[in-house]
A and B are shown apart, each in its own frame.
Chain A
Amino acid sequence: MTLVELHEMIPLLILGGAVVPLLLTVSFYRNLKLTVALTVLIFIAAFTSLFFAPKPVRTDGSLLSMDGYALFYIGLFLAASLVVALLSYGYVRERKDDCQEFYILLILATLGASVLAAANSFIPLFLGLEILSVSLYVLISYLRGFTRCIEAGVKYLILAAASSAFLLFGIALFYAECGTMDFKGISEILQIQGMPTPLLYAAFGLLFVGFGFKLAIVPFHMWTPDVYEGAPSPVTAYIATVSKGAVFSLLVRFFFIMGAHQYKKLLFLFSAIAVASMFTGNLLALRQENVKRVLAYSSIAHLGYLLVAFIAGGDLAVEAAAFYLVSYFITTLAAFGVVAALSGGERDADSIEDYRGLFWQRPWLAAALTAALLSLAGIPLTAGFLAKYYLVAAGMKARLWALVIILIINSAISIYYYLRIVAVMYAEPDAGQNAGRTAFSSSPAAGVALCVMTLLLVWIGVYPQTLITIINAVINYAYPF
């Protein structure tokens, strides 16, 4: 390993290396405030180090490529993890006494996600995916006093293990056919072959089972509502954002390096998945009474939307996907942040009835959730609108008329269940119905995080140019594909 390569790896080294002293600290001196402060510091340090990354040299055959694309997504994951750490401070503290390990796991999961964003070969891909998954198993069932957490953790564990098996089998097939684990190497062999052999097609299919599970797209989506509902709200936010974003960034990189856009068969497959995900997610959310499940179904639909840009391909698609993920991250973190802030003590505030008349008691929280829901629905002046506009633009450019029309129909369907929650929040509260409401559990840290997310959400909706400039500058800093 050369010095330059070591320099490139610094963000990952910070994340991985920091876990050791943190573990030692926790074993000798248990103090939650200190742990959270250190976690925040570590995330900030790793984030800062991104700005000092050297200009990467293109070396074929390297396991990780810390190019502009990877740096952008690692930055995004670090920022999102930081927000999750802040959101979970008050939430976890109330439910469990010694919860310092929660933050160590959070750092490890982020390390896994970052490795995925930079993976250039199947080996870091699998390593990153497993670091992420194993951390998530524990994080989901971290509050082991609650049976629903245990249930969600077990479900996730078994299904994720099963899908990993498919993924591994797919990797094995690739290796059997091409004799290399390197993306670039495989793509060269594919170039020579012209059309992939049936065995390679099967390998693609198996690989996508593994990806599809993590992305929660149809037909691998069924775990989503159960796990979203059972997991602690900040962890749910983490699964919805960082975990999915990491796999999606990997998928884009993999697809582009493989030049897989020329294989119509695969595009057809993804189109079918996109359509099925949009409809399934939105239709299932329609009559759902549990807010966390609504958000789970909505995330299935949103991944379906995102696939439209992915299928479109081209430069605009990379830009559109990045913009979409950023605004989706912000929106989702804001939404789950409100859920976490409202959930105190015994159970999460996940029934729609918990939100009745919220505006009259906690106007700021209600305003934040309203902004998040409007952004999810894609109403103008929120980040979600421009993100969706981007997707439609990318789809139109690639002349994917059918997909774009289905996307629009689905946006219309989705407005119903988003606005239903908004309407409930602004309804006059009934007398005496507050008895059933859980206590509030917001901490100042979570309040600040929530406030920043909401402001960003509106800011990007009004003034998106900064973000667009950043995306273009960073991703093109060293164009990877």
Chain B
Amino acid sequence: MTELVWIIPALPLAGFLTLAFFGRRLARPAVAWIGAGSVGLSAAAASVLAAAFMVNPPAGSSYTLTLWTWMSVGGFAPQISFYLDPLSIVFVLIITFVGFLIHLYSVEFMADDEGYSRFFAYMNLFIGSMLILVLAGDLLLLYLGWEGVGLCSYLLIGFWYRDPKNGLAARKAFIMTRVGDTAMAIGLFLLLKSFGTLNVQDLMAAASGQWSRGSALAAVSAALLLGGALGKSAQLPLQTWLPDAMAGPTPVSALIHAATMVTAGVYLIGRTHALFELAPVVMNAVAVIGAATLLVAGLSALAQTDIKRVLAYSTISQIGYMFLALGVGAWSAAIFHFVTHAFFKALLFLGAGAVILALDDEHDMTKMGGLRKKLPLVFWSFMAGAASLSALPLVSAGFYSKEMILWRSFVGWSGNPLLWAAGLAGAFITALYTFRMVFITFFGQPKSDVHRVPGWRMNLPLLVLACLSVAGGFVETPDTLGNVRIFSGFLRSVFQALPVRESLAGLELSLQIPAALAPLLGLLAAYLFYMTIPANGRRFSPAARGSRLRRFFFSGWGFDWLYDKLFVLPFIFAARKNRNDVADMVNRGIAAISLSANRGLSWTQSGMLRWYAIGIAAGAIIMIGLAVVL
């Protein structure tokens, strides 16, 4: 059964090829069937395969399908192989299922768009690339998927390319992630040089065997891989592209944020965790970056007025939680939060999309309000997602995963109270900005008319995701609340559980209480501030300018400004100074030399036979002369 794993990525890729070549000639229903159907079939195949895997796990709880060896030259033999283990199964299931729901939603959402088949072609390629990324048994193949994902994000963010603004956002996403990708490529070269292979399992075994804990090479290669992860997952300091990525159609944002793209960094670190364990410095850096990112992005979300930008910053912040978990060695907690986040973030984006569509492409929250009555289903599902995002205790999936991260960040391998405090503060902020968004959008006085109410193809994904956002957390609960361990038990063969510091084990309940209270406090603060004084909501509009601090948060802590000053302006300055180009002189010089050499040589091709004969004779003389005299 498991040997059919290739079908999972092959289906969306086949869908992509069909749509790319024949999309323009196909009718819209056919495009929808191929686009959404291929991902749906892929999801079905994934679930059958996962069931087979769980019922009858292969030896060593992993299975490698080697399709072929790409080439085998000089000891370097990268293989096109798929690696199936609990970690990749979790990712595959989330990618295909959430991906399918988003596709289904898009069938209706994009119905009036002229680029219908182009949209589904890109989306299918996106899913296919992400599946290749998570299934790859070799880092080279993983890199292919990695770059494929990058390409698709570029194509989809700039999907409405007629507006130059969208093109710029797409370019920004591409260039910012490219910074990380370069680091990652260098890391891959380093690993290849050190071990002569890029096969993940061989590599991890070799690294654990040959590099001691804390060795410099391990730290450098882990740091370089981390660079790639930071770019793709939009973490400090490479996070600035994600808020602008909202330029794409809303289902694209849902796909980028929930199922694909930004979670690639989390996956990469999880997949190569053995290497990171050898580099405690880098692990600490991961935890600190995660903690800093979740605070920075959370505070930025607090000041946004565009509903999608709130969600974008919240994604950065939630991925920050995952990085925090990875940094303290709580691998399965990070993956668990990835799963719940995929549910509720996809739900929130799709809900926001429904709102935006209903209000005729209105993104500004200050112009919304009172939608609770007009879009009841969207409202209730949005509430489920909001509860899960803010981790309201007991009733939401997000609570269980976030609680696990907070607990681990205190007692885990390299955890400490500071990281825990940052996470706790983040939990408060998360609830605050989430319910600020809910209250402004769905409560209060209606400010605009609803133009259309979503149909079943948009409602169904919302309902399914809402159920998952509420109930998805029960597969893993803390000791004090039933001690269910299905999720981490499934992942046990991938991640050896890192020890909890025993001296702190008794603290669990006393740490849980603040973790449960923080979101409630955030909800309460949001209620007091935005529900009782509706005018406060309006004060957040950029037109009102607001205080210095608010503007600072609104601009995402001024990172764009800083990068403008640090990199863009010096670059433009240098480019301007260099208008008559020092760098180009090399290229132009080569071209000019080549052309003049071409002219110089052309006369030898005179077409005259006697010339050619002289050429041979002269050549013979030179040959013999050199051979004899030298």
Q: Mark A422-463, 1 if CB is under 8 A from B, else 0.
A: 000000000000000000000000000000000000000001
**How far is A204 from B624 in the complex, measured between Cα atoms in Å?**
8
B623 touches which of A198, A206, A287, A316 (Cβ 8 Å):
A206
**B620, A390: Cβ atoms under 8 Å?**
no
A window 185-223: CB within 8 A of B? 198, 201-202, 204-206, 208-209, 212-213, 218-220, 222-223
Q: A198-B628, A287-B595 in contact; A222/B611 too (CB < 8 A)?
A: yes
**How far is A247 from B168 in the complex, measured between Cα atoms in Å?**
56
B628 touches which of A154, A201, A218, A222 (Cβ 8 Å):
A201
List residues of chain A with CB within 8 A of the CB of B604: 222
**How far is A269 from B628 in the complex, measured between Cα atoms in Å?**
11
List residues of chain A with CB within 8 A of the CB of B626: 205, 265, 268-269, 272
User: Which of the candidate stretches A82-90, A100-108, A155-163, A364-372 sits at the interface with the other chain?
Assistant: A155-163
**B71, A269: Cβ atoms under 8 Å?**
no
**B628, A284: Cβ atoms under 8 Å?**
no
Q: A219-B616, A222-B611, A464-B71 in contact; A268/B630 too (CB < 8 A)?
A: yes
Residues of A participating in the B interface, judged by any CB pair closer than 8 Å: 154-155, 158-159, 162-163, 166, 198, 201-202, 204-206, 208-209, 212-213, 218-220, 222-223, 225-226, 265-266, 268-269, 272, 279-280, 283-284, 286-287, 316, 386, 389-390, 393, 397, 413, 463-465, 468
Chain B binding surface, main DSSP class: helix
**B73, A222: Cβ atoms under 8 Å?**
no
Q: Quick check: is B598 within 8 A (CB to CB) of the other chain?
A: yes
List residues of chain A with CB within 8 A of the CB of B72: 465, 468
**B612, A209: Cβ atoms under 8 Å?**
no
**B615, A222: Cβ atoms under 8 Å?**
yes
Q: A222-B604, A468-B72 in contact; A209/B628 too (CB < 8 A)?
A: no
**How far is A220 from B613 in the complex, measured between Cα atoms in Å?**
9
Query: Chain B residue with minimal CB distance to A389?
Result: B73
A209 touches which of B70, B594, B623 (Cβ 8 Å):
B623
**How far is A463 from B628 in the complex, measured between Cα atoms in Å?**
46
B627 touches which of A159, A205, A386 (Cβ 8 Å):
A205
**B615, A220: Cβ atoms under 8 Å?**
yes
A441–chain B nearest beta-carbon distance, Å: 27
17 contacts between A and B (CB under 8 A): A155-B609, A158-B613, A159-B612, A166-B620, A201-B624, A202-B628, A205-B620, A205-B626, A209-B619, A212-B619, A219-B622, A283-B594, A386-B71, A413-B590, A413-B594, A463-B68, A464-B70
List residues of chain B with CB within 8 A of the CB of A206: 620, 623-624
List residues of chain B with CB within 8 A of the CB of A218: 619
**B612, A286: Cβ atoms under 8 Å?**
no
**How far is A386 from B598 in the complex, measured between Cα atoms in Å?**
28
How many of B's residues come within 8 Å of A, CB to CB? 33
**A284, B598: Cβ atoms under 8 Å?**
yes
List residues of chain A with CB within 8 A of the CB of B615: 219-220, 222
B window 573-630: CB within 8 A of A? 590, 594-595, 597-598, 601-602, 604-605, 607, 609, 611-613, 615-616, 618-620, 622-624, 626-628, 630
**B612, A223: Cβ atoms under 8 Å?**
yes
Q: A205-B620, A269-B627, A283-B597 in contact; A225/B605 too (CB < 8 A)?
A: yes
A155–chain B nearest beta-carbon distance, Å: 5
Residue among B71, B590, B595 with the highest chain A CB neighbour number at 10 A: B71
Query: Chain A residue with minimal CB distance to B625?
Result: A205
A284 touches which of B605, B607, B623 (Cβ 8 Å):
B605
Query: Chain A residue with minimal CB distance to B615?
Result: A222
Q: Mark B56-84, 1 if CB is under 8 A from A, else 0.
A: 00000000000011111110000000000
Query: Chain A residue with minimal CB distance to B611?
Result: A222
**B630, A265: Cβ atoms under 8 Å?**
yes
Q: A159-B613, A163-B616 in contact; A468/B71 too (CB < 8 A)?
A: yes
**How far is A155 from B69 in the complex, measured between Cα atoms in Å?**
48
List residues of chain A with CB within 8 A of the CB of B70: 463-465
B68 touches which of A202, A208, A465 (Cβ 8 Å):
A465
- A268-B626, A389-B71 known, 17 other contacts, Cβ within 8 Å: A159-B612, A159-B616, A201-B624, A201-B627, A206-B620, A206-B623, A209-B620, A219-B618, A220-B615, A222-B605, A225-B605, A226-B607, A269-B623, A279-B597, A286-B595, A287-B598, A390-B73
Query: Chain B residue with minimal CB distance to A296?
Result: B605
A269–chain B nearest beta-carbon distance, Å: 6
**How far is A218 from B623 in the complex, measured between Cα atoms in Å?**
11
**How far is A219 from B620 in the complex, measured between Cα atoms in Å?**
9
**How far is A205 from B595 in the complex, measured between Cα atoms in Å?**
32
**A397, B74: Cβ atoms under 8 Å?**
yes
**How far is A272 from B623 in the complex, measured between Cα atoms in Å?**
10
Residues of B participating in the A interface, judged by any CB pair closer than 8 Å: 68-74, 590, 594-595, 597-598, 601-602, 604-605, 607, 609, 611-613, 615-616, 618-620, 622-624, 626-628, 630
List residues of chain B with CB within 8 A of the CB of A202: 624, 627-628
**B601, A283: Cβ atoms under 8 Å?**
yes
List residues of chain A with CB within 8 A of the CB of B69: 465
List residues of chain B with CB within 8 A of the CB of A280: 601
B58–chain A nearest beta-carbon distance, Å: 25
**How far is A162 from B612 in the complex, measured between Cα atoms in Å?**
11
List residues of chain A with CB within 8 A of the CB of B590: 413
List residues of chain B with CB within 8 A of the CB of A219: 615-616, 618-619, 622
List residues of chain A with CB within 8 A of the CB of B597: 279, 283
**How far is A465 from B73 in the complex, measured between Cα atoms in Å?**
10
List residues of chain A with CB within 8 A of the CB of B602: 284, 287
List residues of chain B with CB within 8 A of the CB of A468: 71-72
**How far is A225 from B74 in the complex, measured between Cα atoms in Å?**
37
List residues of chain A with CB within 8 A of the CB of B609: 154-155, 158-159
* Top 9 A-B pairs, shortest CB-CB distance: A219-B619, A205-B623, A205-B627, A201-B627, A205-B624, A222-B612, A286-B598, A209-B620, A283-B597
**How far is A158 from B613 in the complex, measured between Cα atoms in Å?**
9
**How far is A413 from B589 in the complex, measured between Cα atoms in Å?**
12
List residues of chain B with CB within 8 A of the CB of A268: 626, 630
Query: Chain B residue with minimal CB distance to A285?
Result: B598
**A465, B628: Cβ atoms under 8 Å?**
no
List residues of chain B with CB within 8 A of the CB of A386: 71
List residues of chain B with CB within 8 A of the CB of A316: 74
**B601, A284: Cβ atoms under 8 Å?**
yes
List residues of chain A with CB within 8 A of the CB of B607: 226
**How far is A316 from B623 in the complex, measured between Cα atoms in Å?**
27
Query: Chain B residue with minimal CB distance to A158?
Result: B609
B88–chain A nearest beta-carbon distance, Å: 24
B138–chain A nearest beta-carbon distance, Å: 15
B326–chain A nearest beta-carbon distance, Å: 34
List residues of chain B with CB within 8 A of the CB of A198: 628
Residue among B607, B615, B622, B624 with the highest chain A CB neighbour number at 10 A: B624
List residues of chain B with CB within 8 A of the CB of A465: 68-72
List residues of chain A with CB within 8 A of the CB of B595: 286-287
Query: Chain B residue with minimal CB distance to A279?
Result: B597
B20–chain A nearest beta-carbon distance, Å: 15
**B627, A204: Cβ atoms under 8 Å?**
yes
**How far is A266 from B613 in the complex, measured between Cα atoms in Å?**
24
**A213, B628: Cβ atoms under 8 Å?**
no
**How far is A155 from B605 in the complex, measured between Cα atoms in Å?**
13
A228–chain B nearest beta-carbon distance, Å: 12
List residues of chain A with CB within 8 A of the CB of B611: 222
**A205, B628: Cβ atoms under 8 Å?**
yes
Query: Chain A residue with minimal CB distance to B629?
Result: A198
**A266, B627: Cβ atoms under 8 Å?**
yes
**How far is A94 from B612 in the complex, measured between Cα atoms in Å?**
32
**A213, B616: Cβ atoms under 8 Å?**
yes
B170–chain A nearest beta-carbon distance, Å: 24
**How far is A272 from B626 in the complex, measured between Cα atoms in Å?**
11
Residue among A266, A269, A286 with the highest chain B CB neighbour number at 10 A: A286
Query: Chain A residue with minimal CB distance to B604?
Result: A222
**A265, B618: Cβ atoms under 8 Å?**
no
List residues of chain B with CB within 8 A of the CB of A222: 604-605, 611-612, 615
Query: Chain B residue with minimal CB distance to A320?
Result: B73
